[in-house]
Amino acid sequence: TVRTYQRTGQGAGSRAGRWKDLAARLRCCQNVKTVTGDSDAPRNLPPSSEVVARPVGVCFMMRLPVQTSPEGLDAAFGVPLDTGTSNRPGARFGPRRIREESVMLRTINPSTGALPFQSLMVADLGDVNVNLYNLQDSCRLIQEAYQKIVAAGCVPLTLGGDHTITYPILQAMAKKHGPVGLLHVDAHMDTADKALGEKIYHGTPFRRCVEEKLLDCKRVVQIGIRGSSTTVEPYRYSRNQGFRVVLAEDCWLKSLVPLMAEVRQQMGGKPMYISFDIDGLDPAYAPGTGTPEIAGLTPSQALEIIRGCQGLNVVGCDLVEVSPPYDPFGNTALLAANLLFEMLCVLPKVRVV
C-alpha cells in the first residue's frame, strides 16, 4: 500500500502516543485561563454549550461579542460582496452563513494545543457596508475600513465575499507593513488583466496588487491551481513575477507538510498574508462556491497548509468565495468557519501548550 500521503511517525504504531499528547494538551488547556498580558485581564470567550445552548442569541462569528471599533482588539472577524464574480453569484451571503455554522466552534484547538481566545482579545466587527451597485466604490469603502482596523493594531480575519475584496484589503495592509508575502490557496491564479473591459473583478486582484507594489513577489506562493483556461497568460504572468505556483496535481495523494516547511523558509519573519479561496478545495468537500473546479485539495491538506503557517508573521487572513445558494447542507460554510478558526490559531500572539 502506498503511504506517501502520511506524515512520518503517524502510522498505527504511534497512535497511542498521539492520544497521550492530546490528553496532555487538553489538561493544560483546562488549567489555563489567560496566557498573555495581565492575568486578570478579561477575554472574549465563546460561551460553552454546557451553559448557553448553541441556537440561543444573535448570530455572530464563533458567538463572540460584536464591536463597532477595532480599538483594544488583537484580532477580529465579514465583507458581503459578490459584484466582482464572473460565474455563479451568492458570495455576498457568505459571511452570514459562515457565522451561522461557526456556532459549533469551541475555545481550544486540541490537535495543535493552540489557545486563541485565552491569548487574544477577539471580537466580530461586523461587515463593511459595501456599495453593491459600484464595485470600485466598494473597494474604496473596504480599503478605508481596513486602514482603521490595521492602524489599531488589530489582525483582520475576513469572511468573504468574492476574491475582489483581497485587493483593497492588501492596499490597507501595505500602508502599514509595506509589501507583504502572500500564501494564496485557490483553483485559479487570479492574475488576469481584465474581463469584458473591467480591470477589477475576482480574477484580477493579485495582478493589481503587483502593479501597485503591494506584494513581495519573491514571497508569494499559490497552491491548488487547476482547471481549464482560455489562455496561459495568467500562469505565465505569475511565474514571471517570481511567484511559486504549486498545481493541484502536484498535491494529490500526499501530505503537504514538507511543502509548508519550504514555504515557512521562503516567508521568513517578514509580514505575510493568507488568502484562502474555498474553491481551492475539491467541490466534493466544498460545493458551495461560484467557480468550482474538479480534483482539488482535501480538507486535511487545507489544515496542513494553515497549520504550516504556525510561527510566521501573519498580519491578516481571508476566506473567500463561499456561496450559500450552492451549499444546501451548509458543509462549505462549516468548512470555511473551521478554516478561519485554524487561521486564528496560528496568529503570532497565540499561545500553544
Between CA 191 and CA 259 the distance in angstroms is 22
177 assigned ligand-binding residue:
no
DSSP E strands in the chain: the ranges are 75-76, 114-115, 122-123, 155-159, 180-185, 215-225, 244-247, 271-277, 313-320, 351-352
Q: CA–CA distance from 216 to each of 46, 173, 209 (Å)?
A: 36, 12, 10
Q: Is the peptide bond before 161 cis (omega within 30 degrees of 0)?
A: yes
Residue 156: closest CA among 180, 134, 189: 180
163 assigned ligand-binding residue:
yes
124 assigned ligand-binding residue:
no
Between CA 285 and CA 199 the distance in angstroms is 31
List residues bridging with 195 in a β-sheet: 198
188 assigned ligand-binding residue:
yes
DSSP three-state, residue 291: coil
Q: Residue 140 has which C-alpha cell?
A: 474604496
Query: Is the alpha carbon torsion for 182, 188, 189, 193 positive or negative?
Result: negative
Residues tagged in the binding site annotation: 163, 186, 188, 190, 277, 279
Residues tagged in the binding site annotation for Mn(2+): 163, 186, 188, 190, 277, 279
